Chain A
């Protein structure tokens, strides 16, 4: 049974990456990955997540700050001196070596005895179902098989940590979902500390025990998927996490009531905004609405513009008689989402998406009454984007 040699944590202290020319890719990131934890770094492209991972691997120099692996300061160590294994987006297999030699390469470089090498390679090959491919060259493998070899090459090493740079993004959608669950199972089985980079927030939420959200090189929030979803610290995290994205509208709070687009919703009991009198950005998740108004929730009459069928449920998109929220934060988050979430026609009016069960009869153009769950409202400062 393959086991991680020693379960080590990773600690980043005030890590900064400044390129020549002054571009700062990563700024003062403090992050602790507990031993055995599956940590996901997520953010839109160019947010510095890959740079951060490469600094942990030693492939990128750290401009200032410290990287500690297993309590040891490795900031100035070369990649070959750090006991980590990396899985690259392009797999980066050695083209002239067979699968077996690809997997054994790291052990060979670390002068592991031949018998031990053979044992570990065949064990890992069995776990990943690669036994029958051991004598093939990478060119004779399918994309999914190459991906598994890249994984296997990391696992045989039994390193202190796995670093994975978007390892699933080159697979087709179906295979990606399968590999995602296999990765989770693999992590449960091996218990090796893992840092996983992705731009896909669904991947981040499903894989990560904790997820660190980055934007423009700054760590926004690092928490469990549940906390990120339910307690985002700012507008960016709120807009980035969740699919479809959270709906935003400019609103006014006064006298314990938030009002927008002619709707008035009483704030839930104990809301910190109860006594406030100010402008806010209100966020409502697509699941924050209900078609039944039986619970005394405030209601909103809408006219569905677009209906997206998903089988069990449908997404209903409608316009609200209120100005659209278009801040840097929401734009950065929306750009990162896949194209189907992006708005094709930028409009002056706010556009909302709600998720309704397919039993509710809906047709485009027919007015529909929706109830708003007052417990599932999010408030953000229009200036700073901070959660209120």
Chain B
């Protein structure tokens, strides 16, 4: 008897939340929410809209008054006009950003691995010290850096610029890889040790193959910051090695402002970083540790 009573009580308790009705105005709330989000998205995308449509208009069609109107015909004329001025900078930036992001990611991976998984005495001291580098503003080190680079004979070419970007990127890449490696199981690293692998081989054969998601983050970050850098480029490189940001500045900063050309240049200059996002972004979500541990 008592059992039956209990069952009824239990059923009611479980069933109650499921039977609760949605309020009648719920669909309107959802609509309002999406409308608000849509308006905000439009607001934030306005500059992008202006950038893209202006760059694609025929130069004759461009005017401040009709700036928000869609072009009547698509034209690549603007790109054709600015490309000769950008070409050299584009090549320089590519030659700068790729090695700079690759090297600092590799070094960051090694740093991160050692700091997370191959602890050494003083590791807890070394890591904050490396991190500290992230909080030093560019402007603060500009003069001593220039001085140092000049003494080393590294001013003028791309090699010096690459070196600066590699070193300046190390704190963030170290942080990225340390956090990533800290999340993988100690037992996998220990298994490699017991299997006879030393530090280097554990890093190369066990840790690196799991690291592509961290590489994606680190490469995107480093590529973007090296590509977008203006200050180091204008300071350390001589005219023929100026990166695209400097070239872009020269177009936008001319006496007259042919803003259709500025827009086309900006669009061209941002294509590589967008590409890097698209290509590397797919590694983000991949669970590369899947299967290492219990089900």
Question: Which A residues are closer than 8 A to B by beta carbons?
Answer: 57-59, 78-80, 82, 84-86, 88-97, 105-106, 109-110, 137-143, 146, 153, 157, 163, 170
Contact = CB atoms under 8 A, between A and B. Distances in A.
A142 B193 contact: no
Interface centre among B193, B195, B295, by most chain A C-beta atoms within 10 angstroms, is: B195
A109 B291 contact: no
Nearest to A85: B194
Contact of A91 (B192, B288, B289, B293): B293
Contacts of A143: 294-295
B188 interface: yes
A105 B206 CA distance: 10
A96 B210 contact: yes
Contacts of A82: 194
A106 B187 contact: no
Contact of A88 (B190, B205, B206, B288): B190
B191 interface: yes
B293 A106 contact: no
B185 interface: yes
Contact of A92 (B185, B196, B198): B185
A170 B294 contact: yes
Which 10 A-B pairs rank lowest in CB-CB distance, beginning with the nearest?
A139-B291, A138-B291, A109-B196, A96-B209, A92-B187, A106-B195, A95-B292, A143-B295, A139-B290, A170-B294
A105 B193 CA distance: 11
Contacts of B196: 80, 106, 109-110
Interface residues of B, number: 25
A109 B197 contact: yes
A95 B289 contact: yes
Contacts of B195: 80, 85, 105-106, 109, 153, 157
Contacts of B205: 94, 105
Q: Is the interface of A mostly helix, strand, loop or mixed?
A: loop
Interface string B273-295: 00000000000000011111111
Nearest to A84: B194
Interface in B133-166: none
Contact of A146 (B188, B194, B209, B291): B291
Contacts of A170: 294-295
B197 A80 contact: yes
B58 to A, nearest CB: 52
Given A139-B290, A146-B294, A170-B294, 11 more contacts: A59-B194, A79-B193, A79-B194, A80-B194, A89-B187, A92-B185, A92-B191, A95-B188, A96-B288, A106-B195, A163-B194
9 contacts: A82-B194, A92-B185, A92-B191, A105-B205, A109-B201, A110-B196, A138-B292, A146-B294, A170-B294
Interface centre among B187, B192, B198, B294, by most chain A C-beta atoms within 10 angstroms, is: B294
Contacts of B290: 95, 138-139
A59 B117 CA distance: 13
A89 B292 CA distance: 11
A92 B198 CA distance: 17
Interface centre among A94, A138, A141, by most chain B C-beta atoms within 10 angstroms, is: A94
Contact of B191 (A78, A94, A141): A94
B66 to A, nearest CB: 56
Interface in B46-92: none
A84 B196 CA distance: 9
A86 B210 contact: no
A58 B196 CA distance: 12
Nearest to B195: A106
B291 to A, nearest CB: 3
Nearest to B212: A96
B193 A59 contact: yes
A90 B187 CA distance: 7
Contacts of A137: 291
Contacts of A139: 290-291
A94 B292 contact: yes
Interface centre among B191, B192, B198, B293, by most chain A C-beta atoms within 10 angstroms, is: B191
Contacts of B294: 89-91, 143, 146, 170
Nearest to B292: A95
Contacts of A85: 194-195
B206 A94 contact: yes
Given A59-B194, A143-B295, A92 B188 contact: yes
B193 A78 contact: yes
B125 to A, nearest CB: 15
A140 B291 contact: yes
A96 to B, nearest CB: 4
Contact of B210 (A84, A95, A141): A95
Nearest to A80: B196
Interface string B200-225: 01000110011000000000000000
Contacts of B192: 94, 105, 109
Given A141-B291, A170-B294, A94 B197 contact: no
A358 B288 CA distance: 53
Interface centre among A79, A84, A85, A106, by most chain B C-beta atoms within 10 angstroms, is: A79
A106 B191 CA distance: 9
B293 to A, nearest CB: 4
Contacts of A89: 187, 294
A298 B34 CA distance: 82
Contacts of B185: 90, 92
B291 A86 contact: no
A139 B290 CA distance: 5
Contacts of B295: 142-143, 146, 170
B2 to A, nearest CB: 17
A137 B292 CA distance: 9
A90 B184 CA distance: 12
B292 A88 contact: no
Contacts of B291: 93, 95, 137-141, 146
A105 B292 CA distance: 14
Nearest to B293: A90
Contacts of B191: 86, 88, 92-94, 153
